[in-house]
Amino acid sequence: MTMNRRDFVGLLGAGAALGAAQLSGCATPMGAESARGRVVVVGGGFSGSTTAKYLRHWAPGLEVTLVEPNQNFVSCPFSNRVLGGSLTIEQLTVGYDKLQSTRGVRLVRDMATAIDSDKKQVRLAKGNPIPYDRVVVAPGIDFVYDQIPGLNNPAAQSQILHAWKAGPETVALRRQLEAMPNGGVFVMWIPTSPYRCPPGPYERATQVAYYFKNHKPKSKVIILDANPDIQSKKGLFTKAWNDMYPGIVEYRPGSELQDVDVRTRTVKLLQGDVKGDVVNIIPPQRAGRIARDAGLANVNNRFCGVDWLTYESTAVKGVHVTGDSTQSAPAMPKSGHMANQHGKICADAIIALMGGREVNDEPMIANTCYSWVSDREVVHVASVHQYDKAKKTMVAVQGSGGLSPAPSVKEGAFAMGWANAIWDDMLG
Amino acid sequence: MRRSNLVKLALVPAALTALAWAGTAGAQDYKARSWAASCFACHGTEGRSEGEFPALAGKSKKDLLEALKEFKAGTRKNATIMHQHAKGYTDEQLDRIATYFSQQSRR
């Protein structure tokens, strides 16, 4: 056997990785990989955190830096229950400390401002640029107010909330609902698909109805949907509105938004004006700004095209995009669960590319999405997605997936179990 | 003995260890690991659940595969989601996923 110096160093590296794996004991799986190099992950949501964790978990020799300006992760899934009043925002908040202490991810609390793919650096608002061999861009969504003139300024946006990123806005919208008199009207507007979390708006309407039924029984929920129909779990939501909250929820499809009058809290539709006591506009969405500025949003200048085997951008080599910023594959929802799966497939592919083994050419994703119809009862939709080699995208597997037969307390317990498990899978 | 030879000799044990480990790593079914990783979202990282859902790490392959096949066939009682997921996988995929979890340490 002949061996040059470079091979020898490589082997020693592998030996060191093995040593590290043995030292850290249970946390590292068998067969930890020997990939070496620097990966920077921009954004610590469902996909970014998961990618950072699994890069280190499966390839402890990688230097992984996660850039995230927020102190803690706050889960969008289940944040509608904060509006319903049966969970607090604190119960949806998880720290990043284990990613650092257990996984060895370097956490940089800063805002990434640019991806310099020529110099292979991530530029930061405050700190020095961070060099990378590969970068993962996972900024989530930004809101588009261009077509809603009355809301296209910060003062208006501080009054008419989206609450479509969990955190302070969720709490503020809850306060607006609490301050509303019994008999008041909650009006929400839903943009055309694709938007983050297809069943989320309908779950929100249901949670607000739950709150009204118990505390403000004369109040109403009006759903103004730009889509021609309910986008997810239609039968289950309709049944919940009819059976559990009769006379509270009104659904109006095909609601074309033209503007919002903030002062009078009036939603101006092509079909006419709708006035509310509390108005919630979920604006149209696109990939986070850093992804657009880096030239990654190559689908209608809105979302980012990726190779579904590696999540590498179809626009810029060496740059990967995961989560809600991607141009979703057919039938693939923009969801936290999906983003968590993106993260693991992307991490595996980066390790393969940096460690010199073959990339998995048959990725699979099992998706689960729970929605709360009260404080205890839940419905789900499930699906399985596989890579189609001819179409070069992910497609739903025929015959797989399905819905809950009806809301149940049993699935409520599973839903809480899911949340705790997936938060740990990202951040634990 | 020249200094360079000494260095080479000193490195041999380390290299042998690394080679032995590389052989083990070569046997790792990375594709199955990627498929199994989808299950981690509910069943815990590497199947080491500490919560609502059953732990899968270190369970016997026979039991895991039997459960998955029953879910797929629709014959397992009390399924809420697993029957809908299992139908999305080929028998070979289920076999390799079951093998992967059976090989993981419980902690």
Minimal CA separation from B2 to chain A, in Å: 17
The answer to whether A11 contacts B24, with C-beta atoms less than 8 Å apart, is: no
| Three-state DSSP class for residue A125 | coil
pLDDT attached to residue B94: 98
Q: With CB atoms and an 8 Å threshold, state whether B52 touches A413.
A: yes
Q: Give the CA count within 13 Å in the CB-facing half-sphere of A260.
A: 28
Compute the mean pLDDT over every residue in chain B, rounded to the nearest whole number. 83
Q: Taking a C-beta distance cutoff of 8 angstroms, is the pair A298, A307 a contact?
A: no
Are residues A425 and B44, on separate chains, in Cβ contact within 8 Å?
yes
Calculate helix-pair angle for A46-58, A409-427, nearest 10 degrees.
60
Query: pLDDT (tens digit, 9 = 90+) per residue, A114-150?
Result: 999 999 999 999 999 999 999 999 999 999 999 999 9
In Å, how far is A276's CA from the nearest CA of chain B? 38
Nearest alpha carbon to residue A354 among A20, A47, A64: A64
pLDDT digits (tens, 9 = 90+) for A62-81: 999 999 999 999 999 999 99
CA closest to B43 among chain A residues = A421
| pLDDT recorded at residue A316 | 97
Is A31's CB within 8 Å of B24's CB?
yes
Contact B33 A348 (CB under 8 A): yes
CA pair distance A329, A303, nearest whole angstrom: 11
Residues contacting residue A33 through CB under 8 Å, at least 6 positions apart: A17, A58, A59, A61, A351, A355, A357, B25
Here the tokens at position B102 are 């059976």
In 3D, which of A45, A41, A284 has the Cα closest to residue A142? Answer: A284
Closest-approach residue (CA) in chain B for A29: B104
Pick A422's closest partner by Cβ from B41, B85, B104.
B41
H helix intervals, A86-219:
97-101, 154-157, 168-179, 200-215
**pLDDT score at A30:** 58
Q: Quote the pLDDT of residue B15.
A: 40
* Per-residue pLDDT tens over the stretch B40-74: 999 999 999 989 999 999 999 999 999 999 999 99
pLDDT for A24-63, tens place per residue?
434 445 568 988 999 999 999 999 999 999 999 999 999 9
Q: Which of B7, B16, B19, B34 has the most A C-beta neighbours within 10 Å, making it the best mutation to test the interface with A? A: B34
Please tell me whether residue A397 adopts helix, strand or coil conformation: coil
Pairwise CB contact (< 8 Å): A15 & B21: yes
Hey, what amino acid is at A229? Answer: D
Q: Count other Cβ atoms within 10 Å, centred on residue A212.
A: 25
**pTM: predicted TM-score of the whole model, two decimal places:** 0.90
